[in-house]
Each structure stands twice: as C-alpha cells, then as structure tokens.
Structure 1
Amino acid sequence: MSDVSSFLDLTSILFTLFWLFFIALVLYLHREGKREGWPLQLNNGETAAGLGGIPKPKTYRKHHGQGDRVRPGPDAPEYHINAEPLYNSAGAPLKPLGDPMVDGLGPAAWAKRADQPDLTVDGRPRIVPLRIDPEHSVVSKDPNPVGKAVYGCDGKQGGTVVDMWVDRAEPMFRYAELDVAGKRVLLPMTMARVSKSGEMNVRSIRSDQFQQVPTLANPDQVTLQEEDRITAFYGGGTLYAMPNRQEPSL
C-alpha cells in the first residue's frame, strides 16, 4: 500500500483550505446581505428567501437613546400602492389611480425609514434651519436665496425662500425652506438651481405643486422618513409633473 503522504504536500493542503474558506466566506456574506429588504415579496403574495435563506436576527444598539433595531425583524406595513397592473402578468407596469407624486409611485416611491432625525456624533439633530443655529450662515460672497422667489418648471413663482437648512456634520446647505401661500415646505438643494440674484429655479415640479410637498411634524427638525418623502416627491415630478414627460422622446 502506497504512502498517502506521497500524494500530499503543505502547498496543496493550504490551497484547498483557502478555497474552502473563500467559498464559505462568499456564502456567509451573501446571507448577511439579506438583513435588509428580504424576503422578497412576489406578485402572487408569496415570499422568496433565495440561496442560503435568511440570517438569524441580530440586535443593533443605536446611539443617543434612539432604541434598538432588530434585523431581520418586524417591519412596519408598507404604504398602500394606489395603482393597478396594466395587464395580468408578473412584473406588469402599474397604472396610477390617483396622483402618483402624492401616492409615492414610480420615481416618487419612498422608503419607511426611521421617523427620527439624523444625529451628529454628539447627539444633536444634524440638519436644522439657520434660525436655531447661529454658528452657520450664508457666505457673504455667495448669492443669498432668503427672501427670493422660487420658480417651478412652468416659469411661474411657486413660493419664497424664508430660511436655509444646514448640515452640521458636513457644513453645507441641504434644504431651502419655502413659504407657499402660508405653508412651510422644504426644497432639496440638489433639486434647485440658484441664480446670481439668489432666485431659485426648480425643473422637476410645477409652481402649483409646491402646495403638495409633504410637510414636517416639527418645524425645526426633519426626520429620515420625512427626508425620503420630500425628496421622492420632487424626484417623482421628473416623470409625472408634466403630461409630456410620460411620452416617448422620439
């Protein structure tokens, strides 16, 4: 009987162990990646866990007394989708039954994030208006939008800027606060263009649609969920604000 050791050496053993470890690592990371957004919800109401299944629940302790989060764990029910399939087939596009920008459809869809404000490392609300944060201001050499008009994609005035919201963690303006016929709403700075005079132009929505922008529960802070809803509303306007935007370009 031949000696088994004559067919093995340290190099081949280490090579085999490396590939076994690498395969196990890939499978582990694939499974860990399912802590958010899984199991998948199929059109027929069933769920799919995919290769490797769902990982065991893990508790994440959040800073500054914001509680714990278990993932995967119980999720809040999703908001009602006010739409119907265009035809009876899996993956069929949805036909809106109401105002898709208000109902959160397509590009206006938003995620049910935590209804709590994002915090700085020292536990303060991260994004706040200048009226409660005197440490920040608009640089004197830059155009100041406060008091200036905001125009929609139809060229008409939709509101007036009354304040700017600053990100304390990364000193930059995240939102402009608008007065729209007595109603206060936020405008993401990424969805606006500021002219040299300080006036702002928004290409995603019409002037009359500023009235429909989701409002804040607390006038001096914005939660993660509110940020998602506000940004989604403006994003949805890139498709739904004007009828011709839903038609072919050619």
Structure 2
Amino acid sequence: MEKGAITQYIDVAQVVLYFFWAFFLGLIWYLRREDKREGYPLAYERIDTAPYLNFPAIPSPKTFFLAHGGSVEAPRASDPQIDYRAEPVAPFIGAPLEPVGDAMLSGAGPGAYALRADTPDLTLEGLPKIVPLRIASGEKLVTHATQGTETAPEPPNSGHYKHYTLSPRDPDPRGMTVIGADGRAAGTVQDVWIDVSEVLIRYLEVALTGTNTTVLLPMTFSSIDGRRRRVNVDAILASQFAQVPKIKTANQVTFLEEEQICAYYGAGTLYATLQRRESLL
C-alpha cells in the first residue's frame, strides 16, 4: 500500500467529528434510559406494543436518600396506578375516558391526580411547610387529629414557627361566607393556611354550614370579595363542598391529600353540572 494512502483522507477534525457522533449517540442512549426512572413501568392499552416501548430497557434501580430521612428507589419494582373510575368512549387506543359513577370523584379528566407521598412537605427545619395561621403565629406545632382517626407523629426537629400575620392592607378572609358556583352559601372561612417557606396563602379552611366538618379550599380556586365579605368559588356547587377530600390531621396536609383536594375542585370545572359537559355551541 502506498505510504499515506489512508492518512491522507483522515485529519484531526474528522476524527473529532466521529468521536462527537459516538459521544452524542451514547448520551442520547443514557438520557433515554434515565428518563424512565419515574413513572415506569407503564400501563399499556395494547399488550402487543409493549416490547417496542421498552427500548431501550428500563435502567437498574438507584437508591435516593431523602433530605429529612428515609430513602426511595427508582424505578420502582411496580409503579402504583390510580384506580380511576372511567371507561373509553370508543374501542380505539387513546379514546377519551367517560367517568363511571360520581364524576367528581372518578379520578379522570380534570379530576386526575398523581400518587404522591402521603407525608407533608417540610421546611429545612423539619416542620410542616403548609400550616394554618393559628399554628404559624408562633405557637408550637399541634399534631392531634380532629378530622380523622389517625394522629400525626411529631415531625423531626419540631419547634416554633416565626410570627406570621396577614397584611392589614389586604382583606382578611376569616369570617367571610363561601359562595358556590350556584350562588348559595357553603360555609364560612375559619382559618387561612399559609406556606411558611413561600410566604403566601395556599388554602382557606372552610367550616361547612350546619355541620362540624371543615374542608380545605385552594386559594387558586377562590376569589375574595372584600367589599361584600364573601369568597366566590366557581369550580363547584355549594352542596358539593361536603365531598371535598378530608385531611387526616388538623394542622397539616400531605402531598397526596393536596393532590386529591385540588383534583376535586379541578373536576368541578367540567363535571360540577351537566351543562358544563355539553358543547358550547
């Protein structure tokens, strides 16, 4: 072979380009496997397509240590699925789901939610991050249950919150009447739940009229009318407040409970009345 017959067609730039292609292909392969750590294994509508969707294969489990103790593996051996109550409206893949039974609690459509951990979000000090103002006013955390049968354990590093108050320049929703989408009164705001890390209102605690029950109302689903001393809620009817998912303990809310509460109000935007499910035309 003539001297230089191969190298005269190869230069440094070409070698670098080939290495870059190989590196980029490996990077895509690695990232495509790593993005399967959450939400896998999947639930397939057609079993015969499952092998193709598993390429590349799901990676081996990794153990992640949580900030406040404990650990979690991802991907999980079996990914828990929400037991939603809905059926496809047509016999083809991807057909819309029609709720079965009470659409507000079906877990489908705008009422869908994720199965997050059934533990409260914590601050860096180990205290529940979202608490009622009666707790965030500087008093020691109270953990006795008043809305359920379970009693929450004392959180790690439990102590005192800073002294949080509502700004006097804004209307105080406590004592205001909560009005549903039908214009009827559902109850009265009993307390305000704040996020002590973000320093904003997350929920309103509503005492339902004629009962000893309180439910949480997400601030994003409410509109405060300070002049008429009322809180308007367009998502659900006054009678539907009684079915809002309850929290297990009086002074803290878990990730899962937040998902279920917000999903209920979200479901109301479509399923609260039959008219909302009809065509706009």
**Shorter-chain TM-score: which interval?**
over 0.9
The answer for unaligned runs of 5 or more in structure 2 is 138-162
Q: Per-residue displacement from partner, 1:85-110 (whole Å, max 9, x unpaired)?
A: 33333223333221121232211011
Preserved CA contact (<8 Å) 1:59 1:68? yes
Distance in 1 of aligned mates of 2:217 and 2:87: 30
Distance in 2 of aligned mates of 1:11 and 1:87: 56
Specify the code of the residue in structure 2 equivalent to 1:128.
V
Q: Which of 197, 211, 215 in structure 2 is aligned with 1:169?
A: 197
Q: Which of 239, 249, 266 in structure 2 is aligned with 1:235?
A: 266
Distance in 1 of aligned mates of 2:195 and 2:45: 40
Question: Is the aligned partner of 1:185 residue 2:215?
Answer: yes
Name whichever of 15-24 and 210-219 sits farther off: 15-24
Q: Structure 1 pair 243/125, CA: closer, same or farther in 2 (3 Å)?
A: same
- Flag as ranges the 4+ runs of structure 1 deviating above 6 A: none
Which residues in structure 2 correspond to 1:88-103 (within 5 Å)?
Answer: 88-103=91-106
Specify the code of the residue in structure 2 equivalent to 1:53.
A
Preserved CA contact (<8 Å) 1:100 1:106? no
Taking structure 2 as the reference length, what is the TM-score of the superposition? 0.84
Q: Structure 1 pair 76/107, CA: closer, same or farther in 2 (3 Å)?
A: same
**Secondary structure at the counterpart of residue 40 of structure 1:** coil
Question: Is the aligned partner of 1:157 residue 2:198?
Answer: no
Q: Residue 120 of structure 2 corresponds to which residue in structure 1?
A: 117
Count of residue pairs brought into register by the alignment: 249
Specify the code of the residue in structure 2 equivalent to 1:87.
A
Preserved CA contact (<8 Å) 1:113 1:224? yes
The answer for unaligned runs of 5 or more in structure 1 is none
Q: Which of 62, 68, 78 in structure 2 is aligned with 1:64?
A: 68
Specify the code of the residue in structure 1 equivalent to 2:76.
G
How far has the Cα of 1:83 moved from its partner? Answer: 2.6
Which residues in structure 2 correspond to 1:118-157 (within 5 Å)?
Answer: 118-134=121-137, 135-157=163-185
Specify the code of the residue in structure 1 equivalent to 2:36.
K
Q: Per-residue displacement from partner, 1:186-240 (whole Å, max 9, x unpaired)?
A: 0110111111234211111011111010000111000000000000000010100
Q: CA RMSD in A?
A: 1.7
